[in-house]
Amino acid sequence: MGGLNVKNTMVERVLQIVAPHPCSGCGKVGTILCEDCKYDIINEPFSGCILCGSYTLYGICEAHASPITRAFTVGTRSGALEELINRLKFHYAKAAARPLADLFNEVLPLLPDGSILTFVPTVRAHIRERGYDHIGLVATYFSLLREMPLTSLLRRRTKITQHTATREARQLQVVDTFEAMDGVDIREKVVLLLDDVVTTGATLQAAALKLVGMGATVWVATLAYQPLD
Ligand SMILES: [Zn+2]
Ligand SMILES: [Zn+2]
């Protein structure tokens, strides 16, 4: 990262405080996601398998022998949804977390009684850089909307980040990515695992596998689907 990027980043941090947000879809000033653009996203849900993209009722094909039982995805990574995610992840727009939680709330069904809410923890270097765990923020708002506590179940073990890894390298790396946090009994519970963007699904699968090993049934919810080219 060069000096210019660092400076731009600091300018963005300041602008984020003083400037009102334009809508991530239509650019209308006043709110980071206007009602019209919100309903456009909700009306175009992603109804494919998060691992192969083909149409399925449960968000994941039975053919994959995955630790994930059900999967829900707000949409494909495009348009206003992509812009909201990018602002939250790359432009310090914490205000994007609330409408993203709203979208989860619109898209997800009622959860079984006693379900436990958690999220895929973000790489620590990214939390340090942003000043917040972006998906943790979305999960916090979602937990308020659904009146369910948010529980930390997983911790990252590896320092490897995914930006430059190939598909094969990613799949080898992620197996050991997570370790369980002590103290919460999730046996025979449904755990809803939140994440931002699903590409190969390898990270989600590794996290889900850990939770299944702890005795849970795992449902996942992701904001956007973006297959690798
Ligand atoms: Zn709009
Ligand atoms: Zn599939």
Q: How far apart are CA 10 and CA 15, in angstroms?
A: 9
At 3, is the pLDDT very low, low, confident or very high (cuts 50, 70, 90)?
A: very low
Considering every ligand atom, which ligand is closest to the CA of 227?
2
Residue 20 has what DSSP assignment?
P
120 Cα to the center of ligand 2, angstroms: 21
Please check whether residue 194 is in contact with residue 119, taking contact to mean a CB–CB distance below 8 angstroms: yes
Considering every ligand atom, which ligand is closest to the CA of 60?
2
Give the model confidence (pLDDT) of 22-80 as tens digits. Answer: 999 999 998 999 999 999 999 998 999 999 999 998 999 988 999 999 999 999 999 99
Q: How far apart are CA 214 and CA 212, in angstroms?
A: 5
Ion ligand 2: residue ranges with CB closer than 5 A:
49, 51-52, 61
30 Cα to the center of ligand 1, angstroms: 10
**pLDDT top residue among 158 and 180:** 180
39 Cα to the center of ligand 2, angstroms: 27
Give the model confidence (pLDDT) of 103-125 as tens digits. Answer: 999 999 999 999 999 999 999 99
Beta-carbon count within 10 A of 42 CB: 14
- For the chain, list the domains and their CATH numbers: 46-225 (3.40.50)
Residue 29 has what DSSP assignment?
B
Question: What is the value of pTM for the model shown?
Answer: 0.86
Cβ within 8 Å of residue 216, ≥6 positions away: 116, 186, 187, 188, 189, 190, 191
pLDDT given for residue 173 in this prediction: 58
144 Cα to the center of ligand 2, angstroms: 32
200 Cα to the center of ligand 2, angstroms: 11
- Proportion of the chain in helix, strand, coil states, percent, rounded to 5: 40, 20, 40
Distances (CA, A) of 207 to 34, 131, 172, 191, 217: 33, 23, 14, 11, 12
Cβ within 8 Å of residue 147, ≥6 positions away: none
176 Cα to the center of ligand 1, angstroms: 41
Q: Residue written as tokens 């812009």?
A: 83
